[in-house]
Structure 1
Amino acid sequence: MSQPTLEIQLQTLPNQPGVYQYFDAEGTIIYVGKAKNLKKRVSSYFTKTHDNGKTRVLVKKIATIKHIVVDTETDALLLENNLIKKYKPRYNVMLKDDKSYPWICIKNERFPRVFSTRRVIKDGSEYFGPYTSMKTVSTLMDLIKGLYQLRNCNYDLSEEKIKNGKYSVCLEYHLGNCKGPCEGYETEDEYNENILAIKEILKGNFKDSLTQFKQQMKQYAEEMHFEEAQKIKEKIEVLENYQSKSTIVNPKISNVDVFSIVSDESYGYVNFLQLSYGSIIRSHTLEIKKKLDESDKELLELAITEIRQRFHSKSKEIYVPFQVDLGEDIKVSVPKLGDKKHILDLSLRNAKYYRMEQLKQIKIIDPDRHVNRIMAQMKADLRLKVEPRHIECFDNSNIQGTNPVAACVVFKNGKPSKKDYRHFNIKTVEGPNDFASMEEVVYRRYKRLLDENQSLPQLIIIDGGKGQLSSALKALDDLQLRGKIAIIGIAKRLEELFYPNDPIPLYLDKKSETLKIIQQLRNEAHRFGIEHHRNKRSKSALNTELETIPGIGEKTVVELLKQFKSAKRVAHAKLDELELIVGNSRAEKIYNYYHNK
């Protein structure tokens, strides 16, 4: 469609909450979004300049706009989530992990069976879950079987068939795992009392079952039925042991969902904790792939809707790290202290741990994605125009002005490229002048790259503060490279990052990968520079001691040092010892030099 047609569509959008859909020229849905006010939200795409390149491309591709008006923001969230999952538009975030989860089913039948399943059948049965781990399901099923004697056969235990004696008890009855309802040894009311207790346990409420068992144990003891009392005691211990392994938060915090998020340039990780009767009964982390530089708020709103749908949560209150818009049906709390803040911090730790695990796996399984993610993160953290695929770092090295040298180390795709490292001997600067030395080596480095028509880096890092940075900038000015290469200085003491013409330094998170790579560059440049400086001082020391002896060349010096290990030992060597190494003539010259001083 032509642009005027889009303008007409924008003008006719309603000022109501709803969901909008963008289609390209081929009629393919490319984006789905929600809005409190459809007209304002959709119009903003076409009236403001977008920093994100992908958003600019999206806007160029929009040919048709469709919308659906809904009653509330909550309805808009749900509809947006369902449309994204159904159509998977190219420019919407991707919600990873759409697998089927295990449930615990209490079958809709007389004397209900309790079993685990991955299929939910709408036949009136009750399903608890879904659970994020089959191990959790197995543990719960073992707990239930240890506490209650339930049937596991699939007989139709109708009242009529039991009365007619259609069935007889099986091995499970004789093993004590079933009370034999198939022959009428257990009434339906007795059996259903156990089912009610199981439902409470699956909801996270252990209190009622513990109270009931303690009363039974006391009654059996009073009636002198000590064997039965002991069996009940063992069940109490099993239940209390399971309860103690659950993360207890605060018994007053019940029926609450907790959400937190950590993100980088490419992905968001949202952790979900579900609390019931003071215990965490579920934990799950959802990975979200960003498409349009979505904010943490946008990602969290979408993730909360998806997770609550996926796990059938009916909680009326949620805890989150910042305010989100979820409609009027849900109470949103942002805890600042106490037990509520503690459980939110626990959720955040889970999200961070999951992210670290994912990054470790990606680094091994998909190194290209790992590199791409780090480069995108560095671009964002350092406010660069392009990803810093090629970085060069400079460091000066001198001790009290002696043998001044400099080092340039090169990283490509976040890794050292040692074949591109370069040493520099300072040629034009007299005395200890770090600023002038920095200007010299930066000029020499990029003058050579330009002369040889080699590729320039996307980022230069200067090991030093504002003074060294200004000196490096002079060299770039002389080469007319100012503005063509990003350049920053890093001060050693507080890890401050300085930018040209900006008096306020940038401080990165101490744990950020961007800062770690910059520190690695700085440390590598320092090591490389010190190594060269040490070699130069050693060579200088050799020159003064041995090579200054008339008639003694470099090869002779090397031979002597191989044998005597140091110039001092050469000086104290006997004439016949020297003659064995370098011959009579040169031995006399060396011996006379040291003994005539």
Structure 2
Amino acid sequence: MAVDKDFLASLPTLPGVYRMIDAEGAVLYVGKAKDLRKRVSSYFQKTDQSPRIQLMLRSVDRIDTTVTRTEAEALLLENNLIKGLKPRFNILFRDDKSYPYLLLTGHRFPRLAYFRGTPKKTDQAFGPYPNSYAVRESIQLLQKVFLLRTCEDTVFANRSRPCLLHQIKRCTAPCVELVTEDAYARDVAEAAQLLKGEANALTEQLTAQMNAAAASLDFETAAFLRDRLRMLATVREKQFVDTTGSDADADVVAVAEAGGVIAVNLTMIRGGRHLGDRSFFPQHGEGASPAEALEAFLLQHYLEHPVPARIFVSEAIETDALEALLSEQAGRKVSVQHRATGERRVWVTMAQANARLSAERRSADRTHQSQRLAALRDTLELPALNRIECFDISHTMGEATVASCVVYEGDDMKKSDYRRYNIGGITPGDDYAAMHAALIKRFHRSVEENGVLPDLLLIDGGKGQVAMAVDAMAELGLGEVLLLGVAKGEARKPGLETLIFADGRELRLAKDHPGFHLIQQIRDEAHRFAITGHRAKRGKARVQSTLEDIPGIGPKRRKQLLEHFGGLQGVRNAGVDALATVNGISRELAETIYNALH
């Protein structure tokens, strides 16, 4: 872009957002500034710009700006524009829809549960946790200490005797009233106390109860409380960190770079408990500094997810506007600190080490995948090989036929481009027709809209599926796309597959061929994605058809039954008396339902 000094001089010295735009009108980059004139001018005054910025500036045709009242407003607008436009020179982090929580339900006998979404007002939610494993580990630990139930409500309502969890001392069996409501409520209250970070108070409370029981010669109760204290100590060793009251809820965010890969590690501490950590890898992070990646993560992550009182970071960044914006969003003071001391410095060092390990692992994986891709490209004698798509068909004797399409691009599976297609209007069980229909569905839009096409199209199947795929691509005028069938070998053993070309030629690669391993990886992912889609569709269809076949059960009653019992299995497990408690279900109709399902 030729620098227009008059344009730069005309920019205001106010906070705002600027957008770098190319000749075709596409937004290349979105940035925020405390002083628009100073920030935009700096792009054309510095001589040591990174290769990424130099490449961007060569493509810029014009710059648009928007003035805001404050720098915090500029941050918010910048984030919204990045989310909406996804500019190719901005550092982008994947926007996870939600984090998991640990839930104590609001029932008469509350349940420990894994949960995503918005809890009911009667439930208590603790978290968020960085991943599902951390939630399930916490549930297992709490079960051992407090013996709370984890069973589904439908199972709980229909038990006639204690389950195995009671036998192995993981539950007090409230389902058959082997524990009183008051005693169970005390266990729930103590579990909630621990989850809120009040472990010291809980330990003192249990110790006092144990001593009192021993003093009154109630040695059975004292022994029970002694064992609970021991297990509580084990939980504290595993999950608790030394915190002051203000640090009971904190996040530690560290960034590291290795082999050209940037990783951001997020460690979560809630209620003084170390819930675990998670690593994030940005898109378009090539050439970015660790501080730039960290700043992009903080903005994009915390405007979508709950914000703790304190955030400790590994890099020095400007925090004034960020703190103001996050504090406004959280409705309380949020502090972003770089110069941590003491125990907090240890947290940051630990998170930075985890970030470095993640970056090194991702870099090694990327190199390995690049070698596989290069080997496959050379074997197939292709000038370029960047995007591979693979199709598979899944059904059960023709029922609920689903086609899957998975995508490999660059050096990894690109899950955002995965697609499933429901296949109908064919003879049940006709895999050939299903493959033809799936390819027509996938590529007709690419023809109409000049969309993206793969460099290699993999078909999970033999000569019949390949022939139908060739016909489908010819109908669409896409015969130039290289097509390759992956036929299973003898006894369907991995490593014995045959590759089938569109012209009928066959190729057998060595078991240790890197390109062959890549094909197997992509084919297996297509198979997994197809099966999960098929099972979900089949299960839904069977639920609907089973209840629809019962006289007197229309859409409204069917919905009430499924919601009340948590699914068809719950309805099946329910007795006549339980069925009759559902609104609109008479005893006579309950008997009809029970007989139909048994």
The alignment status of 1:232 with 2:229, answered yes or no, reads: no
Distance in 1 separating the partners of 2:131 and 2:285: 29
Distance in 2 separating the partners of 1:342 and 1:221: 41
Shift of 1:132: 3.2
Shift of 1:98: 4.3
Q: Which amino acid aligns with 1:199?
A: A
TM, length-normalised to structure 2: 0.50
Shift of 1:235: 1.7
Instruction: Find the partner of 2:360 among 356, 360, 372.
Output: 356
Residues 349 and 206 of structure 1: CA distance in aligned 2, closer, same or farther (over 3 Å): same
Deviations 1:34-70 (A, max 9, x none): 2222343234335555633432342343345445555
Distance in 1 separating the partners of 2:266 and 2:93: 14
Shift of 1:275: 3.5
Distance in 1 separating the partners of 2:373 and 2:337: 36
TM, length-normalised to structure 1: 0.50
Residues 311 and 144 of structure 1: CA distance in aligned 2, closer, same or farther (over 3 Å): farther
Distance in 2 separating the partners of 1:208 and 1:68: 53
Contact 2:159 2:175 survives alignment (8 Å): no
Instruction: Find the partner of 2:117 among 120, 124, 127.
Output: 120
Residues 155 and 142 of structure 1: CA distance in aligned 2, closer, same or farther (over 3 Å): closer
**Residue 302 (structure 1) aligns with:** 296
**Residue 42 (structure 2) aligns with:** 44
Deviations 1:549-587 (A, max 9, x none): xxxxxxxxxxxxxxxxxxxxxxxxxxxxxxxxxxxxxxx
Residues 193 and 339 of structure 1: CA distance in aligned 2, closer, same or farther (over 3 Å): same
**Residue 343 (structure 1) aligns with:** 347
Q: Which amino acid aligns with 1:171?
A: P
**Residue 537 (structure 2) aligns with:** none
**Residue 241 (structure 1) aligns with:** 234
Alignment size in residue pairs: 359
Instruction: Find the partner of 1:288 among 282, 290, 302.
Output: 282
Q: Counterparts of 1:66-77 in structure 2 under 5 Å?
A: 66-70=64-68, 72-77=70-75
Q: Which moved more, 1:309-318 or 1:30-39?
A: 309-318
Contact 2:261 2:286 survives alignment (8 Å): no
Contact 2:264 2:294 survives alignment (8 Å): yes
**Rg bigger for which structure?**
1
Q: Which amino acid aligns with 1:127?
A: A
Q: Which amino acid aligns with 2:338?
A: V
Shift of 1:206: 2.2
**Residue 322 (structure 1) aligns with:** 316
Higher relative contact order (Cα pairs below 8 Å, separated by 6+ residues)? 2
**Residue 501 (structure 1) aligns with:** none
Q: Which amino acid aligns with 1:121?
A: T
Q: Which amino acid aligns with 2:40?
A: V
**Residue 334 (structure 1) aligns with:** 338
Q: Which amino acid aligns with 1:341?
A: R
Percent identity of paired positions between Structure 1 and Structure 2? 27
Q: Counterparts of 1:21-100 in structure 2 under 5 Å?
A: 21-46=19-44, 48-49=46-47, 51-63=49-61, 65-70=63-68, 72-95=70-93, 98=96
Distance in 1 separating the partners of 2:340 and 2:98: 36
Q: Counterparts of 1:95-494 in structure 2 under 5 Å?
A: 95=93, 98=96, 101-107=99-105, 111-117=109-115, 119-121=116-118, 123-124=120-121, 125-152=123-150, 171=162, 177-178=171-172, 180=174, 186-187=180-181, 194-246=187-239, 248-249=241-242, 254-264=248-258, 266-276=260-270, 280-291=274-285, 293-309=287-303, 312-325=306-319, 326-328=322-324, 329=327, 330-335=334-339, 338-367=342-371
Contact 1:113 1:151 survives alignment (8 Å): yes
Shift of 1:115: 0.5
Distance in 2 separating the partners of 1:369 and 1:287: 21
Distance in 1 separating the partners of 2:235 and 2:276: 15
Distance in 2 separating the partners of 1:260 and 1:369: 32
Distance in 2 separating the partners of 1:363 and 1:247: 38
Shift of 1:90: 0.9
Distance in 2 separating the partners of 1:129 and 1:180: 26
Residues 233 and 86 of structure 1: CA distance in aligned 2, closer, same or farther (over 3 Å): farther
Distance in 2 separating the partners of 1:255 and 1:238: 24
Shift of 1:15: 3.6
Q: Which moved more, 1:292-301 or 1:233-242?
A: 292-301
Deviations 1:346-403 (A, max 9, x none): 2222222222222332332334999xxxxxxxxxxxxxxxxxxxxxxxxxxxxxxxxx
Distance in 2 separating the partners of 1:11 and 1:198: 63
SS of the aligned residue for 1:224 comes to coil
Residues 228 and 302 of structure 1: CA distance in aligned 2, closer, same or farther (over 3 Å): same
Shift of 1:120: 0.8
Distance in 2 separating the partners of 1:76 and 1:210: 48
Contact 1:274 1:280 survives alignment (8 Å): yes
Contact 2:30 2:87 survives alignment (8 Å): yes
Contact 2:101 2:125 survives alignment (8 Å): yes
Shift of 1:93: 1.6
SS of the aligned residue for 1:210 comes to helix
SS of the aligned residue for 1:145 comes to helix
Q: Which amino acid aligns with 2:230?
A: E
Distance in 1 separating the partners of 2:107 and 2:82: 38
SS of the aligned residue for 1:263 comes to strand
Contact 1:97 1:286 survives alignment (8 Å): no
**Residue 574 (structure 1) aligns with:** none
Q: Which amino acid aligns with 1:342?
A: V
Distance in 2 separating the partners of 1:313 and 1:115: 23
SS of the aligned residue for 2:323 comes to coil
Shift of 1:240: 0.6
Q: CA RMSD in A?
A: 4.2
Deviations 1:113-151 (A, max 9, x none): 32113x313543443334334332222101222233444
**Residue 447 (structure 1) aligns with:** none
**Residue 16 (structure 2) aligns with:** 18
Distance in 2 separating the partners of 1:18 and 1:182: 64
SS of the aligned residue for 1:92 comes to coil
Residues 359 and 264 of structure 1: CA distance in aligned 2, closer, same or farther (over 3 Å): closer
Q: Which amino acid aligns with 1:209?
A: L
Shift of 1:96: 5.3
Distance in 2 separating the partners of 1:87 and 1:208: 50
SS of the aligned residue for 1:171 comes to coil
**Residue 461 (structure 2) aligns with:** none
Distance in 2 separating the partners of 1:174 and 1:240: 22
